[in-house]
């Protein structure tokens, strides 16, 4: 599989974000800059649970045939039983489903994974599924430090090392802290 120049991809993503007024709801970051950092023969697969965000991304990325977008929760795309890692009970009106088939657009391996889970975190099952892709780098964006800690422990247990961590006070005078953690596969360091 082709390699991704992670520094170039993140720089392009950062430049795209810097060109905005700073008010970016979760699904509104323009990924086109990062998509262009993929080498020939590479592929970008995006998994997003918000259907309208997927449709917007499909329209924005239509000229990039190496981009595949999946409208699904990540756990369901991996064929895992639906989970809400921070909850003891399913959300009202949402039954936990049994395992489904893994989505056919998910590749068997990945070079880099960028993970931006909901406030509850990704959860151990999703972390295990991502680790099974054997990416050399995982960039984890988290809006809850406690959920990031749980996910970090799961990545470390799967052979990854925390190589960088940065916190952003995106909402001053509140308890909310955005964190970006970079994990590298220990045998790839």
Q: Which residues are catalytic?
A: 143
Angle between helices 124-132 and 145-157 (to 10 degrees): 40
Pair 182, 163: CB distance under 8 Å: yes
**CA nearest neighbour of 49 among 19, 71, 29, 23:** 71
How far apart, in whole angstroms, are the C-alpha atoms of residue 119 and residue 113? 18
The helix (run of H) or strand (run of E) holding residue 8 is helix 6-18
Tokens describing residue 137: 């780098």
Residue written as tokens 């190496």? 66
The helix/strand/coil state of 13 is helix
**CA nearest neighbour of 22 among 181, 139, 172, 175:** 172
**CA nearest neighbour of 121 among 93, 95, 98, 149:** 149
How far apart, in whole angstroms, are the C-alpha atoms of residue 175 and residue 40? 43
């Amino acid at each position: 599989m082709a390699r991704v120049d992670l520094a170039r991809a993140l720089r392009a993503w950062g430049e795209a974000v810097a060109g905005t007024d700073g008010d970016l709801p979760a699904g509104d970051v323009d990924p086109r800059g990062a998509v262009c950092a993929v080498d020939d023969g590479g592929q970008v697969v995006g998994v997003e649970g918000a259907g309208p965000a997927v449709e917007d991304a499909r329209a924005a990325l239509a000229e990039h045939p190496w981009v595949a977008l999946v409208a699904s929760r990540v756990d369901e795309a991996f064929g895992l039983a639906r989970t809400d890692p921070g909850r003891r009970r399913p959300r009202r009106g949402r039954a936990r489903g049994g395992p489904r088939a893994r989505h056919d657009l998910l590749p068997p391996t990945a070079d880099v994974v960028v993970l931006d889970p909901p406030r509850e975190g990704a959860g151990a099952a999703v972390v295990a599924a991502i680790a099974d892709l054997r990416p050399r780098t995982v960039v984890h964006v988290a809006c809850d430090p406690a959920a990031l800690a749980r996910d970090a422990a799961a990545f470390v247990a799967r052979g990854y090392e925390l190589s960088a961590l940065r916190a952003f006070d995106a909402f001053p005078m509140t308890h909310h802290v955005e964190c970006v953690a970079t994990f590298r596969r220990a045998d790839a360091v």
